[in-house]
């Protein structure tokens, strides 16, 4: 509307100037008309937006959005074995040996290790993490023995590789060998000889009871405290049940030395001989991680001990 008024105004001026041609001369009027025409043209130019050579904003973002829309997210590959075995477990390890005991002769005894474990996938394989919670001993009917919970509580979690494979329609598993030394601090836990004497500087008080090594309190036909050092060296293998339990056998190469006792009858017991057929490992799946206190309070519930 503004431009129309401008044109009307300019037309009136031009008409008035034409009417004055008789007084001022035609040539002068024409010059003024041309001048005003130029002014009008300049006004018109100013009223029309100037064209620009600047490109419009890039549509790269739109293209990227389209590209993202077209490329659907890739779902991570699902490992069917991981879905079966990953998670938390409680376990019972039973190592049975036979040794010559005073007064009763050859006798079988079992050491139980109860704990909490986790299986998780790392890279292309699986890792088993075991946390020792309680050691218990079962001997002949003539004896009972106890080990303080301070001993397993002092042991760092044990990490090992665990592998799985299909075998005969079942899921077979194998846990690599690990070494845990209790009652002594060895520079090379796998290869150094175990101490045989309480005065060996490598002997430590594992349970902080003021006595060397680990203390087992024996009661029954003989009552005494026995002090020992031990190298737990073993691997496992077995199969997974339909209920999700991991049941297996133990390859045991453990060693133990008695370094003292309050009763001399137990101070020189023979080296125990492993009894593989009476040794076993059992992992039971649980819904969440348990503390050692929670497990120790529920051992009977899980394992009926």
Determine the pLDDT at residue 70.
Answer: 55
Same domain, 142 and 237: yes
On whether residue 68 sits in a domain, the answer given is: no
4 and 103 in a common domain: no
* 203 and 267 inside one domain: yes
In a domain, 174, yes or no: yes
Residues 196, 239: one domain? yes
Both 32 and 173 in one domain: the answer is: no
- Does 119 lie in the same domain as 194? yes
Is 90 inside any structural domain? yes
39 to 21, 42, 46: CA distances (angstroms): 20, 5, 11
Q: Give the lowest-confidence range in 10-24, 105-119, 212-226.
A: 10-24
- Is 111 inside a domain boundary? yes
Provide the number of structural domains found in the chain: 2
Mean pLDDT to the nearest integer, 14-30? 38
Residues 155 and 227 in one domain: yes
Q: Are residues 205 and 272 in the same domain?
A: yes
In sign, the C-alpha dihedral spanning 83, 86, 87, 89 is positive
**Are 32 and 92 within one domain?**
no
147-188, pLDDT tens digit by residue?
A: 999 999 999 999 999 999 999 889 999 999 999 999 999 999
Give tens-digit pLDDT for 36-53. Answer: 444 444 444 444 444 444
Q: Is residue 263 part of a domain?
A: yes
Q: Domain of residue 261: give its range.
A: 80-303
> Does 205 fall in a domain?
yes
């Amino acid at each position: 509307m503004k431009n129309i008024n401008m044109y009307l105004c300019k037309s009136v001026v031009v008409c008035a100037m034409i009417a004055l041609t008789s007084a001022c001369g035609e040539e002068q009027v024409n010059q003024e008309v041309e001048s005003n025409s130029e002014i009008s043209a300049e006004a018109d130019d100013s009223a029309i937006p100037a064209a620009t050579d600047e490109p419009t904003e890039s549509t790269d973002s739109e293209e990227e959005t389209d590209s993202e829309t077209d490329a659907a997210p890739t779902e991570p590959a699902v490992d069917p074995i991981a879905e079966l075995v990953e998670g938390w477990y409680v376990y019972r390890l039973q190592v049975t040996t036979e040794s010559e005991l005073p007064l009763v002769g050859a006798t079988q005894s079992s050491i139980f290790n109860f704990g909490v474990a986790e299986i998780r996938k790392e890279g292309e394989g699986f890792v088993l993490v075991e946390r020792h919670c309680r050691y218990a001993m079962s001997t002949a009917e003539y004896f009972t023995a106890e080990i303080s919970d301070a001993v397993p509580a002092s042991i760092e979690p044990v990490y090992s590789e665990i592998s799985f494979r299909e075998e005969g329609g079942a899921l077979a598993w194998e846990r690599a060998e690990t070494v845990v030394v209790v009652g002594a601090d060895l520079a090379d836990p796998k290869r150094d000889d175990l101490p045989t004497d309480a005065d060996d500087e490598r002997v430590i008080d594992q349970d902080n009871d003021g006595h060397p090594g680990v203390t087992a309190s024996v009661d029954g036909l003989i009552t005494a405290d026995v002090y020992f050092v031990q190298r737990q060296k073993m691997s496992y293998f077995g199969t997974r049940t339909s209920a999700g339990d991991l049941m297996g056998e133990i390859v045991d190469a453990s060693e133990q030395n008695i370094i003292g006792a309050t009763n001399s009858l137990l101070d020189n017991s023979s080296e125990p001989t492993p009894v593989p057929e009476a040794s076993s490992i059992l992992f039971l799946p649980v819904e969440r991680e348990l503390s050692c206190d929670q497990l120790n309070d529920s051992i009977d519930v899980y394992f009926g001990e």
